Amino acid sequence: MRVLVTGGAGFIGSHVVEALAAGGHEPVVYDVRTDPGSDVRDLDAVRRALSGVDAVSHQAAMVGLGSGFADAVEYVSRNDLGTAVLLTAMADAGVPRIVLAGSMVVYGEGRYDCARHGVVRPGPRAVADLTAGRFEPRCPACGAELSPGLVGEDAPVDPRNVYATTKLAQEHLAAAWARVTGGSAVSLRYHNVYGPRMPRDTPYAGVAAFFRSALARGEAPGVFEDGRQRRDFVHVRDVAAANVAALQAACPPGALVAYNTGSGEPHTVGEMARALAAAYGGPEPVVTGEYRLGDVRHITADSSRLRSELGWKPEVGFADGMREFARSGLRGQ
């Protein structure tokens, strides 16, 4: 299978390229990092790149929190206009399959259970609560403490920042393309991806890369809030393997299927910082109490659908992955 990998020179994309090649496929890298003319928003360039292609792994995106509106136009241009251009070219060329780099940010907050009211959906956290160090969402019906759980793909979506909104729009565009063309579309809703080749200190790097960069400078990682916020840290090679599985799967035509792509092992941000610092041999993390508007408290995945339907399973455990990440190099932007 000949697969165009947009963003194929980036953090996740480069691992997808390697996984495809290892599986006997022919990856074609399309990335502005290696060729300034490879802009996914350039319809003519994308059409040329799709020549002889059987499927697309769409990793190109502007990533990050996007909590304000200063970068809104750029996010929408790179993520949504870029996806629309790509899908238009695919429709013209008759390329029948796309696997999209989705994101768990489309859910907003994760799943919460109230002892009295069952599953509830707390609204955005108030600035006054965050400033006072009250980080845990409360039941919107009775104000009681909540128990966080795993989010399934059928949970309502609630994007809470610009980046999250563009990631959901990408899914809607791919679903519309699939309905019109009869093609198959898969969105892999990545959780917190980490591993070799993460970009160092940039506004769009994941928290793992910020902690790793701090350790490389001899500084203690600064952990926001109280460090107890739960995430699902999934290794980049496992994410790459999920892309290959999705590209090879017999997915239904005319529709988009979403799969959570996580390790299935929730860990707190503080836990991750301590594991990384211990593996690196650097200073202990410092809990700062700072916060970012637009961040959610807990978001962890139920990835059982991906396991059962595509036969995928993560291979890199948390402890081993953090030890490897502590030794691996970061890349510049």
Catalytic residue numbers? 163
Residue 320: in which H helix or E strand, if any? Answer: helix 318-327
Torsion of CA 22, 313, 234, 63, to 10 degrees: 70
From the CB of residue 37, how many other CB atoms can be counted at a distance below 10 Å?
A: 11
Encoding tokens for residue 51?
């020549």
**8 Å CB contact between 130 and 291:** yes
- Give the integer Cα–Cα distance in Å for 237 and 329: 15
Neighbours of 328 (CB within 10 A): 14
- The whole-angstrom separation of Cα 156 and Cα 234 is 23
Give the separation between CA 76 and CA 61, rounded to whole angstroms. Answer: 10
Contact 283, 211 (CB under 8 A): no
Q: Look at phi and psi of residue 119 and say left if phi exceeds 0, alpha if psi is from -120 to 50, else beta.
A: beta
Which letter, b or e, does each residue of 230-244 get, where b requires 16 or more Cβ atoms within 10 Å of its Cβ?
Answer: bbbbbbbbbbbbbbb
Buried b (16+ CB within 10 A) or exposed e, 10-24: bbbbbbbbebbeeee
